[in-house]
Amino acid sequence: MDTNIDLCKKNTMEPLNHKPDFTGAFSDKRLDKRANQIVSMLVLSRSSAIQGVTEDEASQKGFYRFLDNKKVTEQGLIEEMQNRCGKNVEDRDVLVIQDTSSIGLSDHRNKLKPSSGVGFVGNKKGLGFLVHAALVLDADKETMLGFSSVKLWHRQEDKANNTTQAYKQQPIEKKESYKWIEASKQSKKALSSAKSITIVEDREGDIYEQFCIIPDEKTHLVIRNRDNRRLTNGKYLHNFLQEQPVAGTYEIEIEQDKRKKIVKRTATLEVRYAKVIIKKPASVKDKKCPAELTLYVVEVKEINGPKNGSIKWRLLTTHCVESFENALRIINMYQLRWYIEQVFRLLKKKGFAIESTELTTGWGIRKLTLLLLNNVLRIMQMLMAYENEEAQETKEVFSEKEIECLKQVGSDLSMTHRFDPSTLSWATDIIARLGGWKGNPKQRPPGPITLKRGLEKFGWIFRGWCIAKDVSIR
């Protein structure tokens, strides 16, 4: 059975706006202009290395001064992303996918300036900062709309302190885990013009207070269950689920992932679901939280899967689940968490390598991280558009001059175009070929790192094309 529930609808909405615009962001026209120049340079950048982004020494110095300027705040950069995303969601059903990642800077310990916006990450020896982001997708077309919330912070104490009894007794607002609720609140505010909002989170987001605070008539939650919660019927959630009949089974193809030690296989999955009433945990001291919550739970479990890496998810949701099809829809929403994982992968490692930047202050690296999210968004848009011609228009992601250059590149590659040039699928196909993808039907679709390599190469081609045409690169 096909697990991808068909949610697509014909959409006549206005084209999306993904181009950053910092006009009025910093109450300084010179800084606003510099910010717009920098994001234009970063769009075609190869990495987080500022020497590679800038075209001359003056631009390089201007970039450094911009990041060092105290008027250029993280909040100003974040609000620009939120405002832009808010304009893109009007009258849409959207998914908000949250997750956290750490930016490790231990290798820079000797060159980072003191008190520069970094602290403990991972363990007592780790140095860096953390990023919690909320990525927004159109639920119908799975088009990427932007970021509704981004938070950066560094720990003053090692994470081990979060396990102490005194820490556990603190109000949720004082705990680091409040980031899930805080991002959900910010997302609701930023996405107020959306038709509906479904917030998707992993196990860390399984917080009783969040189920009390966030849901309303148009806001729902889909969160992977962590705790074996007590129910009002005297049973525990996991045991109660096992008593439920199997609603149906389906098969999916699992691709090999050596990083996560996942083997290639065909997985057979069985699905259960139930309506449950969860009791308020004794650890929740907030008197505003009700004594019980009515939710739905969906379980998907691999039959005869491998000992390590076998699929087993329990998903708590405020969406009504009364059929196998409803349950599959919830599972499909949770599977889209893969996209936020790819966002962080592109920021680090083989992507823009933010952890290898030459900057010497944590504050500068943090601001650069926020700026690079626009680059990541562009690559993710192409990833989602491949072989989905209805997803997005080319002009929403590439400028008129870039599109003209892409047409020339496609012609020079002697490509047989499979897609309409007005769609982003067409541009993605060309960028993927530049990144080394061969276009063989037996190949896996191009991945984010391939697209990133292709975009790098296109950046240099576009620079040369602009020089040959005697036109401005911007």
CATH 2.40.50.140 correct for 390-469: no
Map out the domains of the chain as residue ranges.
91-355, 390-469
Nearest to 188 by CA among 201, 198, 179: 198
The span from the CA of 239 to the CA of 225, in Å, is 13
242: which 2 tokens?
């096992």
The pLDDT of residue 46 is: 58
Work out the number of other CB atoms within 10 angstroms of the CB of residue 248: 16
Kindly tell me the number of DSSP H helices and DSSP E strands found in the chain.
Answer: 14, 10
> Each residue of 321-364: pLDDT tens digit?
999 999 999 999 999 999 999 999 889 877 888 988 888 889 99
pLDDT reported for residue 417: 64
Read off the pLDDT band of 12 (50, 70, 90).
very low
Residue 357: its pLDDT value, please? 84
Neighbouring C-alpha atoms within 13 Å toward the C-beta of 218 = 14
State both tokens at 12: 């006549």
What are the tens digits of pLDDT across the range 113-165? 766 788 888 766 788 999 999 999 999 888 889 999 999 999 877 666 565 66
Mean residue pLDDT of the chain comes to: 86
- Other residues' Cβ atoms within 10 Å of the Cβ of residue 305: 16
* DSSP string computed for 94-162: EEEEEEEEEEE-GGGTTTSPTTSS-EEESEEEEEEEEEEEEEEEETTT--EEEEEEEEEE-BSS-GGGG
| pLDDT of res. 17 | 65
pLDDT, tens digit (0-9, with 9 covering 90-100), for 365-424: 999 999 999 888 888 888 888 767 677 888 888 888 999 999 999 887 766 667 888 888
- Give the pLDDT mean for 94-101: 97
**CATH class of the region 91-355:** alpha beta
The helix/strand/coil state of 285 is coil
Residue 13's pLDDT is 53
Return the bridge partners of 98, or none.
134
pLDDT confidence of 11, banded at 50, 70, 90? very low
Say yes or no to pLDDT of 234 above 90.
Answer: yes
Q: CA geometry: angle at 296 spanning 292 and 297, to 5°?
A: 110
The pLDDT value given to residue 4? 40
34-53, pLDDT tens digit by residue? 888 888 777 666 566 676 67
Predicted pLDDT of residue 7? 34
